[in-house]
Amino acid sequence: MRTARRQRLYPHNRTAYLFLLPWLIGLFCLTLGPMLGSLYLSLTKYNLLSAPEWIGFANYKTIFTDDSTFTGSLKLTFKYVILSVPLRLIFALLVAMALNKGIRALGIYRTVYYIPSLLGGSVAISIVWRQIFDTDGLINGFLGWFGIHGPAWIAHPDYLIYPIVSLSIWQFGSAMVIFLAGLKQIPADLYEASQVDGAGKVRQFFKISLPMLTPVLFFNLIMSIINSFQAFTPAYVIGDGHGGPLDASMFYTLYLYLKGFSYFDMGYASALAWIMLVIIAAFTGIVFATSRFWVFYGDGKEGR
């Protein structure tokens, strides 16, 4: 009786479950299932050719105590994140402010500036970037016009990080579109009132635009940190796929890939993947924890 009554009260429940079924299948089969499988493999010795051999936390112990490449790749990845994330966000915000001037054909400009975000992470663009920063490439050719002898950006381990960072900055389109949407939501009355009080453009930016954009900045910061830690294609292509020269392009994700699919040490690679998951979660948690001090939601209260 109770079941029949529920079916009469909620006749569309079965249809809702059917709509949710593809998502549930994807969640358990394509997300949670592989994650749990990876966690198990991280505790085994597995070379893709034989059955996994249980070794407990031996992979993690080796990573933290006897793997200098892990330490070097982690430091390089941190350096990349520290350089690329602020520069990309600053550049995206500057372009968004330039486009927020009521110019004609704004949609066209917005689309043009967004295209790098669609293409920037591809293999083709990474190859083009490698050619641009080659010893005889476009950058050194441009510097040569001013009598400056450009360095070997790709071949020198001290300079290789900068072409990769510049490629990350070039992919500013997604953050720019979000910043532009945030700027459109700021009431014009605030700027008009500040002009009456004698505030200039710089003061308006720091007292009105930036505080009102902090929720958008918070979102872009989280997404940029996550994406930067997972950077792979530029490092793989520009560094010839092996972290060269002298491990100058040995990003964490590249090292993980080489361990799993070049050296067939999938158990070790799975352990590296879980360490990266913890690192990204820690950085994300830090940003969330500090957001209450600098994120303003426009209701007179800061983030909680």
Determine the average pLDDT of the residues in 3-14.
Answer: 54
265 contacts 255 by C-beta, under 8 angstroms: no
Which residue, 219, 197, 221, 218, is CA-closest to 207?
197
248 contacts 160 by C-beta, under 8 angstroms: yes
Query: Which pLDDT score is estimated for 11?
Result: 52
| Whether the predicted model's global pTM rises above the 0.75 cut | yes
Which H or E element spans position 213?
A: helix 210-229
Query: Which pLDDT score is estimated for 45?
Result: 94
Q: Tell me which amino acid residue 268 is.
A: Y
Cβ of 197: how many Cβ atoms within 10 Å? Answer: 7
Which residue, 144, 132, 117, 129, is CA-closest to 234?
129
pLDDT higher than threshold 90 for residue 82: yes
- Locus of tokens 């001290």: 158
Cβ of 304: how many Cβ atoms within 10 Å? Answer: 7
Rounded CA separation 279/296 (Å): 27
2-to-5, 6, 23, 118 alpha-carbon distances in Å: 5, 6, 29, 53
Which residue, 222, 210, 221, is CA-closest to 186?
210
Rounded CA separation 284/275 (Å): 14
Q: Tell me which amino acid residue 102 is.
A: G
Query: Which pLDDT score is estimated for 1?
Result: 47
What average pLDDT is seen over the chain? 86
- In tens, the pLDDT along 234-255 reads 889 888 788 888 889 999 999 9
pLDDT higher than threshold 50 for residue 66: yes
Determine the average pLDDT of the residues in 109-138.
Answer: 79
116 contacts 171 by C-beta, under 8 angstroms: yes
Segment among 1-10, 43-52, 92-101 with least mean pLDDT? 1-10
- In tens, the pLDDT along 178-233 reads 998 899 888 888 888 888 888 888 898 898 999 999 999 999 999 999 999 999 98
Q: What are phi and psi of 296, to 5 degrees?
A: -110, 125
- Locus of tokens 């358990």: 28
Q: How confident is the model at residue 174 (pLDDT cuts 50, 70, 90)?
A: confident
pLDDT higher than threshold 70 for residue 15: yes
Determine the average pLDDT of the residues in 67-83.
Answer: 95
pLDDT higher than threshold 80 for residue 153: yes
Q: How far apart are the first and last CA of the chain?
A: 46
Q: Tell me which amino acid residue 91 is.
A: F
Rounded CA separation 179/254 (Å): 31
89-to-120, 177, 272, 299 alpha-carbon distances in Å: 16, 11, 28, 25
Rounded CA separation 239/242 (Å): 6
